[in-house]
Amino acid sequence: MIDIIGAGSLGLLFAGRLAASGTKVRLWTRTLEQARIIACEGITVLEKEGHVAVHVAGGDELKAAPLADWKRLNSQVPARWILIMTKQGAIGEVLDQIKSAANTESDIGIVCLQNGIGHIERIRQAYPEAVVYPAVTTEGAKRMGVASVVHAGLGATEIGCPDVLEEKQVGSFEQYVLNRLLTAGFDVCLSKEIENGIYRKLLINAVINPLTAIWRIPNGELLSDPGRIHMMHKLYEEGIQVYEANGIRWDSAWWDQIMKVCRATAENQSSMLADVLAHSMTEVASINGQLVQMAEQAGVTAPTHAVLWQLIEGMRLKEG
């Protein structure tokens, strides 16, 4: 069984496809209402064109429960493999809810799929005996309701393989997580260079997300005007300077990858834009804010990222 914490767009996508392919999934939601609806209606995954790609009913393969019930239900059926798919801002609340297992279970694997940086160490501190697998994904998903999601763009998922793992542990992870994700139709691989992937994804998000949130446009519209592309490149160059100051390896192909992501997800709303429109807390602090803090620690500046961080935080305070 795989436990998925977070029933947002990615959580629904992964839970739906995994359960439909025969993996037992326990999906943990923020609210009791969402858990009840998923238990009753199941999960529907739609293609971009609106056709049903996958529908799985609630039952043996798919169970749903509010995270508040973690301690009680986990004591009955302990979690072994956990995929945390909440946004980074919710990590503190998640760790508070599930910390009981940290003291009782030592044979746990946790895959973390958050944007930004800084959360991995928090999870490792909360679960010192667990194996934590940092991961990045470019899968595109847009939640349409409490139990339905559009698979808005095919992507790839990299999962970091810690160097300290024994061969037996690697085999167990491949059997119970990696192979099941592959069977569910996800393009997924183990990576020995996940840190590089995390920083690449951080820069992609730091360039695309805040601009789409400020201008309130889908990703593809960033490429419709030379002025917008110029602003994107300014954010990119600042990010590269921060990486160089911190001794972080980068690749000149990353700019082309940013452009490719915009084209591949042209009709998609970034998660930051979705949060702004919903008057919700955004991840700007853990994306652009983290770059600004990295710059300060290295004695350089990232002024454009700093301004966007402040603007988007101010939008939430004004409109929320």
The structural domains of the chain, with segments of one domain joined by +, span 2-192, 195-319
Query: Which pLDDT score is estimated for 118?
Result: 83
Enumerate the H helices of the chain as residue ranges.
9-20, 32-41, 70-76, 91-104, 119-126, 167-173, 179-183, 194-215, 226-245, 254-264, 271-277, 284-298, 303-319
Query: Which pLDDT score is estimated for 28?
Result: 98
Nearest alpha-carbon partner for 56 in 39, 31, 70: 39
Tell me how far apart the alpha carbons of residues 177 and 164 are, in angstroms, rounded to a whole number: 18
Query: Which pLDDT score is estimated for 163?
Result: 72
Query: Which pLDDT score is estimated for 63?
Result: 97
Q: End-to-end distance of the chain based on CA atoms, in angstroms?
A: 38
Q: Exposure string (b/e) for 226-254, b if CB count within 10 Å is 16 or more?
A: eebeebbeebbebbbbbbebeebeeeeeb
Instruction: Residues 195-319: name the CATH superfamily.
Output: N-(1-d-carboxylethyl)-l-norvaline Dehydrogenase; domain 2 (1.10.1040.10)
Tell me how far apart the alpha carbons of residues 48 and 63 are, in angstroms, rounded to a whole number: 26
Classify domain 2-192 by CATH number: 3.40.50.720
25-29 and 2-5 as β-strands: parallel, antiparallel, unpaired? parallel
148-153 and 140-145 as β-strands: parallel, antiparallel, unpaired? antiparallel
Report, in angstroms and rounded to the nearest whole number, the Rg of the chain calculated over CA atoms.
Answer: 19
In this chain, the answer to whether the domains covering 2-192 and 195-319 adopt an identical fold is no
Tell me how far apart the alpha carbons of residues 242 and 244 are, in angstroms, rounded to a whole number: 5
Is the pTM for the entire model greater than 0.85?
A: yes
- Tens digits of per-residue pLDDT, 201-214? 999 999 999 999 99
Tokens of residue 163, six digits: 């160097």
Tell me how far apart the alpha carbons of residues 47 and 125 are, in angstroms, rounded to a whole number: 39
CB atoms within 10 A of CB 41: 15
Coil/strand/helix, residue 203: helix
Residues near 274 by Cβ (< 8 Å), separated by ≥ 6?
142
Intervals of the chain under pLDDT 50:
102-104, 318-320
